[in-house]
């Protein structure tokens, strides 16, 4: 009987492999509502675990504009069916067949639970972390047997450095995947210390997530629906501070994303980025973490806290648009958006000062001084790359901004603050709408 049982088990294993069922782990491991799995072919999957203890799976990228469905909410439709809602534009997709009232269709996968383990029917191996392709490998040419054997050897891990904690991109990616802002701040400060002390010695190369993680209890709305007020009342000052705290949290992620996403960047000369590039943006990340702490503390002093009001994810759009263009990233995020932060500082400062809120004024002055250095860092590395690649800095900037930024730059400009960052008027005035 034992021999027959062993033969039966082997036969069943063969059936599972040949029918493209991927074991993704023990059922007890999936306590969260949504879990993202990275697929070898790039078509990543979100596994959904409902309150009724049922499992579903579908493509994790919203077919509308690629929103991260793993960050969405489960809602019951008026028909009684359950649907996963995209956090970007609130398109809903039924869990059972991927249909949507918008007419869009998402791809779904069959899920089975057997002997306490969860299986998803897909021919591609799945991982909880991004796949790192081996040098010279041909993903399209790899056989199903090879993919299956890799999944069986270690289905939940990718090929990483022998000592991942010695890799800067490991930590950058870890921070980007950290949803809790306080934990994100803590990790940022720890990694900054490890880097500056020389305990992190390698840059490494690990693909960052398409979008950073956020706490599930945040209310996310469209950017135009955020009401900031003018600071004339306590409620409007809280709204302004809350909006700034949201900006700082995204700024932390933008700093770590540029570190991780462009770790393998090479100039046209074949040179890699110097260590100083990473040091500069780790410092920026540390500054933004400190700014978030100051703003969160002030919100608590005023009887509120981060997450008490709605937030938006619009600040990440520029990062997505420039995901494959380092010069574009430096131009838009640091030389347009952060420079705009310098422009609005005087008016914001005046609003809090007019209400006698000197505690907030002191915080804003700290943030302003640091933001000047952040614009300077973007300008520094933009000109460095352009000079190395024998490009004209100004004309390159004037070509990239209209490519990634909608509309013209608008006054008023804080010319003094911009000049302190090294950005003279010749950088931005040509991008203003002609009178």
Dump pLDDT digits (tens) for 109-160: 999 999 899 999 988 889 888 865 433 333 333 333 333 333 333 333 333 4
**Would you state the structure tokens that stand for residue 54, as one six-digit string?**
């049922």
Give yes or no for residue 5 having a pLDDT over 70. no
Per-residue pLDDT band at 295 (split at 50, 70, 90):
very high
CA 67 – CA 85 distance, rounded (Å) = 10
pLDDT tens for residues 196-205? 999 998 999 8
Mean pLDDT of 211-238: 80
- Residue 66 pLDDT > 90, yes or no? no
User: Mean pLDDT throughout 227-238?
Assistant: 77
Burial of 161 (0-12, 13-18, 19+ CB in 10 A): middle
Q: Where are the domains of the chain?
A: 18-153, 164-431
Number of H helices, E strands in the chain: 13, 11
180-185 average pLDDT score = 96
| pLDDT above 70: residue 261 | yes
| Region 276-284 average pLDDT | 97
Question: What's the confidence (pLDDT) of residue 346?
Answer: 94
- The band of 82, judged by pLDDT with boundaries at 50, 70 and 90, is very high
SS3 labels along 331-343 = HHHHHHHHHHHHH
- At 418, list the tokens: 């911009």
What pLDDT score was predicted for residue 241? Answer: 95
Given a cut of 90, is residue 22 above it in pLDDT?
no
Cβ neighbours around 232 below 10 Å, total:
11
Q: How confident is the model at residue 420 (pLDDT cuts 50, 70, 90)?
A: very high
Q: What value does the mean pLDDT take over residues 302-307?
A: 94
Average pLDDT value over all residues in the chain: 86
Of the ranges 56-65, 140-149, 309-318, 363-372, which one carries the lowest mean pLDDT score? Answer: 140-149
Report the DSSP pairing between strands 117-121 and 21-26. Answer: antiparallel
- 383-399 in b/e form (b: 16+ CB < 10 A) is bbbbeeeebebeebbbe
Q: What is the pLDDT of residue 92?
A: 87
Give the rounded distance of the alpha carbon of 107 from its chain centre.
24
pLDDT digits (tens, 9 = 90+) for 325-344: 999 999 999 999 999 999 99
Write the Ramachandran bin of 136: left for phi over 0, alpha for psi from -120 to 50, otherwise beta.
Answer: left
- pLDDT for 242 equals 94
> pLDDT value at position 315?
82
Higher pLDDT, 40 or 278: 278
Give, in order, the Cα–Cα distances in Å from 72 to each of 34, 47, 55, 82.
8, 12, 16, 13
Is the model more confident about 383 or about 216? Answer: 383
C-alpha to C-alpha distance for 294 and 360, rounded to whole angstroms:
9
282 and 276 Cβ atoms separated by less than 8 Å: no
CA distance 142 to 104: 32
Half-sphere exposure of 385 (CA within 13 A, CB side): 22
In whole angstroms, what is the distance from residue 368 CA to residue 341 CA?
A: 8
What span, in angstroms and rounded, lies between the C-alpha atoms of 208 and 211? 8
The architecture CATH gives domain 18-153: 3-layer Sandwich (2.102)
Which of 82-96, 176-190, 331-345, 418-432 is predicted with the least confidence, judged by mean pLDDT? 82-96
Q: What's the pLDDT score for residue 149?
A: 34
Tell the residue number behind the tokens 């930024």, with chain if given.
405
pLDDT band at 218 (very low <50, low <70, confident <90, very high): confident
Q: Which residue has the higher pLDDT, 78 or 100?
A: 100
The single-letter DSSP state of residue 220 is B
pLDDT at position 401 is 96
CA angle, corner 76, sides to 74 and 79, nearest 5? Answer: 145
Q: Which residue has the higher pLDDT, 429 or 434?
A: 429
Q: What percent of the chain has pLDDT over 90?
A: 63
For residue 141, what pLDDT is reported?
A: 38
At residue 152, the pLDDT reads 35
Cβ(197)–Cβ(234) under 8 Å?
no
């Amino acid at each position: 009987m034992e021999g027959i049982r062993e033969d039966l088990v082997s036969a069943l294993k063969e059936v599972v492999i040949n029918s493209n069922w991927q074991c993704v782990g023990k059922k007890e491991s999936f306590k969260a509502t949504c879990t993202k799995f990275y697929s070898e072919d790039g078509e990543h999957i979100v596994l959904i675990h409902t309150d009724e203890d049922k499992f579903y799976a579908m493509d994790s990228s919203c077919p509308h504009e690629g929103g991260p469905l793993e960050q969405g909410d489960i809602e019951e439709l008026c028909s009684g069916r359950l649907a996963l809602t995209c956090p970007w534009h609130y398109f809903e997709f039924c869990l059972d067949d991927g249909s949507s009232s918008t007419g869009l269709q998402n791809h779904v996968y069959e899920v089975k639970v057997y002997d306490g383990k969860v299986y998803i029917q897909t021919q591609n191996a799945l991982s909880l972390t991004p796949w790192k392709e081996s040098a010279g490998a041909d993903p399209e040419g790899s056989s199903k047997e090879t993919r299956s054997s890799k999944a069986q050897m270690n289905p939940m891990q990718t090929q990483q450095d022998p000592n991942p904690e010695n890799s800067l991109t490991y930590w950058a990616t870890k921070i980007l995947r950290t949803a809790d802002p306080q934990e994100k701040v803590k990790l940022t400060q720890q990694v900054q210390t490890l880097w500056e002390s020389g305990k992190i010695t390698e840059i490494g190369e690990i693909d960052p997530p398409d979008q950073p993680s956020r706490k599930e209890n945040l209310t996310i709305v469209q950017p135009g629906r955020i009401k900031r007020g003018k600071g004339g009342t306590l409620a409007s000052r809280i709204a302004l501070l809350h909006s700034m705290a949201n900006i700082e949290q995204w700024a932390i992620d933008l700093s770590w994303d540029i570190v991780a996403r462009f770790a393998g960047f090479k100039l046209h000369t074949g040179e890699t980025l110097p260590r100083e590039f990473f040091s500069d943006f780790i410092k920026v990340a540390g500054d933004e973490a400190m700014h978030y702490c100051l703003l969160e503390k002030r919100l608590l002093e005023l009887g509120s806290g981060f997450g008490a009001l709605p937030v938006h994810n619009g600040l990440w759009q520029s990062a997505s648009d420039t995901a494959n263009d380092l010069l574009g990233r430096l131009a838009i995020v640091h030389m347009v958006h952060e420079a705009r932060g310098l422009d609005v500082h005087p008016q914001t400062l005046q609003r809090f000062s007019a209400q006698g809120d000197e505690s907030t004024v002191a915080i804003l002055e700290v943030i302003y001084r640091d933001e000047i250095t952040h614009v300077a860092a973007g300008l520094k590395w933009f000109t460095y790359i352009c000079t190395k690649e024998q490009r004209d800095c100004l004309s390159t900037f004037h070509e990239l901004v209209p490519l990634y930024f909608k509309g013209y730059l608008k006054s008023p400009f804080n010319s003094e603050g911009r000049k302190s960052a090294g950005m003279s008027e010749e950088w931005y005035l040509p991008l203003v709408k002609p009178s």
